Amino acid sequence: DAGVIQSPRHEVTEMGQEVTLRCKPISGHNSLFWYRQTMMRGLELLIYFNNNVPIDDSGMPEDRFSAKMPNASFSTLKIQPSEPRDSAVYFCASITTDPHYYNEQFFGPGTRLTVL
Amino acid sequence: QQQVKQSPQSLIVQKGGISIINCAYENTAFDYFPWYQQFPGKGPALLIAIRPDVSEKKEGRFTISFNKSAKQFSLHIMDSQPGDSATYFCAAAEERELSSGSARQLTFGSGTQLTVLP
């Protein structure tokens, strides 16, 4: 398996533009997590899905952020409009119900977002 | 609310030395305590983990010590090497029962940037 796939790896955009980050979880994993990492705030959980259903979005900073998971193999995180303070590395992670790996979250390589 | 507190924020150790990173938690519902290692430009990856029914787990040069009564756990890296230089995150997991089924959620500490000098 290729692991968790994220695209793009780097995104530079101007303030006010819409940004869409994409994630493909590991096949067979049933939970998907979106995190944001910054120097100031560390690793923050934004939202997570269980069986494609959003479970907890209390970490989503504001209404400018939205996430969807239309099927088990694809999720998006959208920021509209983007602001300079959204600049961060965004990670997607997935987890399986396989008891052997039940607790391990597998992270993607991240998307480094820069909003000018 | 910071449910998992991690210290120190940064750590510099000489090659061959012992690196120690500490974490504390409050939520007694946590039932699994992993440590993640992150290299620059990469996502975090599971390093070692422990369940609260044991006090210590060792894998090679990496050891987790767990004190359930004090609600504290720590990572010890023996014979630290320059290749261990990375950011280390402690975490704690809990099971959440939901209408869509059960879900596992991790709460991460703030991270420790470890530098091992050659």
CB hemisphere CA count around A12 (13 angstroms): 1
Query: Measured between CB atoms, does B96 come within 8 Å of chain A?
Result: yes
pLDDT above 70: percentage of residues in chain B = 94
Q: How far is CA A67 from the centre of its chain?
A: 8
- Mean pLDDT on A111-116: 97
A105 vs A30: CA distance, rounded Å:
11
Does residue B101 register a pLDDT over 80?
no
Q: What's the pLDDT at A56?
A: 83
Residues of chain A numbered 42-61 and touching chain B (CB < 8 Å): 42-43, 45, 48, 50-51, 53, 55-56
Q: What's the pLDDT at A102?
A: 64
Does residue A1 register a pLDDT over 70?
no
Probe site for chain A from B105, B107, B112 (most A CB atoms < 10 A)? B105
B59 vs B61: CA distance, rounded Å:
6
Task: Dig out the tokens for A104 from the structure.
Answer: 């391990």
Residues of chain B numbered 65-84 and touching chain A (CB < 8 Å): none
Largest CA distance in chain B: 52
Q: What's the pLDDT at A57?
A: 85
Cβ contacts from A onto B, under 8 A: 57
Of A33, A45, A107, the CB nearest to B45: A107
